[in-house]
Amino acid sequence: MPSILPLKLLIQNDENRYELAVATMRRAHQLSITADDEVDSNKGKVVSTAVKQIVTKKVKYQIGN
């Protein structure tokens, strides 16, 4: 069974970890509201899905002032 989280990509991620955490939190909130098909295929795991979408660059984020 394949892992939901791409651990190699997460370990290799050289971006700011605080920004990644904030982006993950915001994306997970969005996913919990919209009921995305990818969340359904991941057994409702919104945080894992959010991390995966961010580190695989499916979703881009910008933390602004």
Across 2-8, average pLDDT: 71
- How many CB atoms lie under 10 A from the CB of residue 34? 10
The span from the CA of 3 to the CA of 5, in Å, is 5
pLDDT per position as a tens digit, 19-55: 888 999 999 999 999 877 888 888 888 999 999 899 8
Alpha carbons 57 and 51: distance in angstroms, whole number: 10
Would you state the pLDDT for residue 33?
A: 92
Note the pLDDT of residue 11.
77
How many C-beta atoms lie closer than 10 Å to residue 10's C-beta?
A: 14
Taking the C-alpha atoms of residue 33 and residue 3, their distance in angstroms, rounded to an integer, is 24
Taking residues 7-11, what's their average pLDDT?
76
pLDDT at res. 28: 94
pTM of the model: 0.79
- Residue 2's pLDDT is 63
Tokens of 32: 């919990």
Give every CB contact of residue 14 below 8 A, 6+ residues apart in sequence.
none
